Amino acid sequence: MNENLFASFIAPTILGLPAAVLIILFPPLLIPTSKYLINNRLITTQQWLIKLTSKQMMAMHNTKGRTWSLMLVSLIIFITTTNLLGLLPHSFTPTTQLSMNLAMAIPLWAGAVIMGFRSKIKNALAHFLPQGTPTPLIPMLVIIETISLLIQPMALAVRLTANITAGHLLMHLIGSATLAMSTINLPSTLIIFTILILLTILEIAVALIQAYVFTLLVGLYLHDNT
């Protein structure tokens, strides 16, 4: 049994050099492409899923917001493939690193906010002070709304990091318990192994849902500023 539960979350190195960049660049290589005029079933299914996802996310946006469609679709594909690859044994999940999630969340959030201040400055400033606010509460509300705006990228990153990390830790604990019980009690081992299989299915769903939630929230921030 591994004594350090967080050993799997340490960024791997190759000959002393960080391998996180190579791992991040690896998922796009798994997406198949076609060189033929008529696509096969895999490519057709992939294009249908991308079209469905893009239509779902872009439905609430106006013309200016839909210019971000390529960015948002690429984001959800990247997070989905990264989360799913992290479920493989002896693999590393970059989305368990808060620094990487912040690197995705902050530029997207900042781009949406800057776009809002450039195109809809009055509406953007109106969010800081709701209509009908009593005069004595104005300074406090402006401070609260400013803080709530600034913590949006942190909330995005922490949500993704916490959900993926918690699932991996739980799978590690149950997997270790299954291995330890295999030499002690076979019926208990089968029960724990069944729980591990169900948890793995749940983690696959969580990997897909968290990718969708992250991209959806970025889309909502964009919608509020376009």
- Per residue in 118-172, pLDDT (tens digit) is 877 777 777 777 677 777 777 787 788 788 888 888 999 999 988 888 888 888 8
Task: Give how many domains the chain has, as a whole number.
Answer: 1
Asked whether residue 221 is assigned to any structural domain, the reply reads: yes
Q: What is the pLDDT of residues 198-213, one digit of tens each?
A: 988 998 999 899 998 9
Residue 174 lies in a domain: yes
pLDDT at position 7: 62
Structural domain boundaries, residue 196? 7-225
On whether residue 55 sits in a domain, the answer given is yes
Does residue 14 sit within a domain?
Answer: yes
Q: Could you write out the three-class secondary structure of the chain? A: CCCCCCHHHCCCEECCEECHHHHHHCHHHHCCCCCCCCCCHHHHHHHHHHHHHHHHHHCCCCCCHHHHHHHHHHHHHHHHHHHHHCCCCCCCCHHHCHHHHHHHHHHHHHHHHHHHHHHCHHHHHHCCCCCCCCHHHHHHHHHHHHHHHHCHHHHHHHHHHHHHHHHHHHHHHHHHHHHHHCCCCHHHHHHHHHHHHHHHHHHHHHHHHHHHHHHHHHHHHHHHCC
Whether residue 48 is contained in a domain is answered as: yes
User: Does any domain span residue 1?
Assistant: no
Q: Encode pLDDT of 6-61 as tens digits.
A: 666 666 666 666 666 777 777 777 776 777 777 778 778 878 888 888 888 878 77
2 lies in some domain: no
Question: Does residue 17 form part of some domain?
Answer: yes
